[in-house]
Structure 1
Amino acid sequence: MGSLGSLRTKAVATAAAVGALSLVVGCSSGDDSVTGGGKKDGKVVITMGLFGVMGIEETGLIEQYEKENPGVDVQAEIAGDEQTYYTALQTRLAAGNGLKDIQGIEIGRAKEIVDTQSDKFADFSDMAGTEHFLPWKESQISTADGKVLGLGTDIGPMAVCYRKDYFGQAGLPTDREEVGKLWEGDWEKYVEVGRTFKKDFKGDDVAYMDSSSGLFNAMVYGYPEQYYNEKGELIYDKNPAVKEAWNLAADAAEDDLTAKLRQFQPGWDPGLANGTFATAVCPAWMLSHISEKAGDANKGKWDVAKAPKGANWGGTFLGVIEKSPVQEEAKKLVAWLTAPEQQAHIFKELGNIPSSKTALESDEVKSVTSEYFSNAPIGQIFGDAAQEIPDKQVLGRKDGTIKDTFSQGLALIEQGTSPDEAWDTTAERIEKAVG
């Protein structure tokens, strides 16, 4: 069986180091009036703008591509923070220069790119060998007239990461199969388990879950529509799925089941290191972050169980800029990087689950386990979860902004604001941000 190895630690450290540089110099090196690479010293130079830990450079894929294509020089810059990266990308798209040949696109930005920047990106719709993606993944980056603005890298099927030592101290099952059955089919059961945990836990002060916003995201992304309908109209205030998720997340917050730590915000990483919470709703791509920040001291204490319901949270694309002087070469590189074999390689090394249906169904992916997470069969767990994601995934222009605003609103409840007042504040902020 394959297992996620120590490369994860190296990858996160590499991304952090390169990211620190990228945030200083922005998304483009050299002359900001120039877009992309070009031909230099007899080689094709392809530039890439990436963010986070996408696994493209960290797992050696760029080095492999250059070895197999000696006439190509790939230069990647990685920003650690996606929000800063996207702000810079928007500025450069508006100016029409300073762009990389290949730009990463986070799922929460995809609809805005499709609706407002489609003329800035090359079309992949007629490219051979790209028929292996999950159908809903390609639809997220496609225009109404059929133009495909990029190819998918990973997706974010859900599971629940849990501390089995803490579950044992609360008298709960610790086996991942039994734990999954505790909340099977219903997120309310997940919260109810939290009430039992809080009542029966024997030990120091440990919260059941890290944040109410993690629960909220897992619930809303289990439906085809969240904040917008297919017409592009805002429906967050009318969508029963959003209200259901808000109410249950608010209940968890009011019942003091959370550590009041928003994921990827200050305090969350120390919370992982210090073991201040017992569960976290975790998309596949989050496992590398948890293992890095929780550290060796907590290796084998974490495990992964099936989530109550299927959902997709996160995922990225690689697009090629229309004005790229090496557009065809860049498209070829993107197709290679997102091919089933390369997606499977990234998953084995880092845990980013493939958006390629072919890769998901391969033994290479299904057999992967995670030594850090108690040898959990993550290839099987997340592969099965990917099959439960709704076939339709309706995105809106400001999905990422709205998601962040809801997370802030739930944080207000964790700090003592009433759910009704927090909802009103959230609605006002959303209208201001997207109106």
Structure 2
Amino acid sequence: MVAVVLAIASVLAPSGCAGSADGAGAGRITLKVRLFGTFGYQEAGLFDAYMARHPDIRIEYSTIQDSGQYWTALQTSLSTESGLGDLQGIEVSEITDATANMADSFVDLGPLGASALRDQFYPWKWAQGLTPDGKVLGLGTDIGPEAMCYRRDLFAKAGLPTARADVAALWKNGWDGYVAAGERFRAAGIPGSAWTDTASGMFNAMIGQSPEQYYDASGRLIYDRNPAVATAWGEAMKIAAGGLSARLTQFTPAWNQAFTSGQFATVACPSWMIGYIKSQTGSLDNRWDVTTAPGGTGNWGGSYLAVPKASKHQQQAADLAIWLASAPQQVAVFEKTGNFPSNRIAAADPAVRDFSDTYFGAVGDPAPIGRIFGDAAGRLPAAVLGARDQVVKDLITKGGITRVEAQGQDPAKSWAKVVRDVTAATG
């Protein structure tokens, strides 16, 4: 869940309540929820539902779409113990940094009731939220099983198949097949349309299929000798240097507009992208569709809920986090935004497994996104995460790939700079 435009939203108690020291009515508690991107809680009406069940609770909610900007602000707030929410989101690429280096700043949610949820989660997801000594720092919100979203109308113009099974067959041999299909699309010469939005997105999708990415299990950086990174970089270079991308930067206004203008025909599509596409394309239903990604799996995204020790309402904040992480609420979020549950009970619920979205696919043939993402989730690798995962990833994608894609730099020279930059950033 990442983006670049700042967005703020609030969920407030009825205006008729008398004021108090924390802004709530007499005897009421205000819980400040600070998140990034679209966790789906507001969209699914869960904050309102929780306040209706707990009339003594008022929820004040805000979100920043840029996860990097959010993380920087959170680190500053933790160091000064000011500006913190009672409930904070932590992105998956930052969770190891939080559990390894910031455990003293967050509450152990286990004794506050969270341990009861342990067996409901994918084991690897639960483990990622634990500190080295076993404290529950973060409760999983979602995971990011991958698919491929594509424009049916652009595929038809290029003479490519449009049915989901036939499209998936284009890349049955993996990412080489995806690149080959892109070359066919480029050869069709559709004005103003590229095969994909950016090579960075494809790199992220590819690397998300590997259990080892930038670090090994001992915490050592291995990005520069990991075959999975080398392969993903090589495929990304075919896209970046081969004229297959629209050379856009994800989560920018230009990228958002391109969803409707037809500037790209495919986009790497973790489950949370479903809601994002719908929010950007409005009435363009039945132009986009969803099918299996090359390789059939991969994880891109997923977040956690944590309670800072600076919160004056730790138990109440933990109660809200536990309720939001429970199966019924994760089902409701998936139905509204497509964020795939990290709670296995929710993932197995027929409301998720059998869910089809009429916005995607041909009229009368809605995309079975519950099955597509559920199948990918069942094959997800348990990825090794490192303390500076996000830093390394950004230096490769926003740095190295962008230099080739947007500036025309030689791939070998760009990779050499990646190595220098990672060394400088990680010591």
d(CA) in 2 for partners of 1:98 and 1:256?
A: 45
Contact 2:195–2:266 at 8 Å: present in 1 too? yes
Task: Give SS of 2:367's match.
Answer: coil
- Give the aligned residue type for 1:394: V
Residue 152 of structure 1 pairs with residue 140 of structure 2? yes
Q: How does 1:30-429 map to 2 (within 5 A)?
A: 41-126=26-111, 127=113, 128-131=115-118, 132-199=120-187, 201=188, 203-296=190-283, 298-309=284-295, 310-374=297-361, 375-390=366-381, 392-408=382-398, 409-414=400-405, 415-429=407-421
Query: TM-score, normalization: structure 1?
Result: 0.88
Contact 1:222–1:312 at 8 Å: present in 2 too? yes
d(CA) in 2 for partners of 1:320 and 1:38?
A: 20
- Give the aligned residue type for 1:167: F
CA positional deviation for 1:266: 4.8
d(CA) in 2 for partners of 1:220 and 1:38?
A: 45
CA positional deviation for 1:68: 0.9
CA positional deviation for 1:412: 1.4
Report Cα offsets for 1:393-415 as digits up to 9, x if no partner: 21111211222221121121113
CA positional deviation for 1:204: 2.1
Report Cα offsets for 1:60-103 as digits up to 9, x if no partner: 10110111111222222222322222111101111233321111
Report Cα offsets for 1:188-221 as digits up to 9, x if no partner: 111111112222x263232111111111111111
Report Cα offsets for 1:257-312 as digits up to 9, x if no partner: 1111122135211221210111011111112222222332x321110010112110
Contact 1:368–1:378 at 8 Å: present in 2 too? yes
Task: Give SS of 2:88's match.
Answer: strand
CA positional deviation for 1:40: 6.5
Task: Give SS of 2:8's match.
Answer: helix
Structure 2: any 5+ residue segments left out of the alignment? 11-20
Query: TM-score, normalization: structure 2?
Result: 0.90
d(CA) in 2 for partners of 1:41 and 1:284?
A: 41
- Give the aligned residue type for 2:178: Y
Task: Give SS of 1:181's match.
Answer: helix
CA positional deviation for 1:362: 0.7
Contact 2:143–2:341 at 8 Å: present in 1 too? yes
Contact 1:337–1:343 at 8 Å: present in 2 too? yes
Task: Give SS of 1:313's match.
Answer: coil
d(CA) in 1 for partners of 2:87 and 2:191?
A: 49
Contact 1:38–1:326 at 8 Å: present in 2 too? no
The CA RMSD over aligned residues, in Å, is: 2.1
Task: Give SS of 2:55's match.
Answer: coil
- Give the aligned residue type for 2:59: V
Contact 1:160–1:281 at 8 Å: present in 2 too? yes
Contact 2:355–2:369 at 8 Å: present in 1 too? yes
Partner of 1:434: 426
d(CA) in 2 for partners of 1:428 and 1:266?
A: 31
Q: How many aligned positions are there?
A: 405
Q: Percent identity?
A: 41
Partner of 2:14: none
Structure 1: any 5+ residue segments left out of the alignment? 1-11, 22-33
CA 426–17 in structure 1, closer or farther in 2 if over 3 Å, else same: closer
Partner of 2:17: none
Report Cα offsets for 1:45-70 as digits up to 9, x if no partner: 22211111111122210110111111
Task: Give SS of 1:130's match.
Answer: helix
CA positional deviation for 1:237: 0.5
Task: Give SS of 1:424's match.
Answer: helix
d(CA) in 2 for partners of 1:202 and 1:419?
A: 25
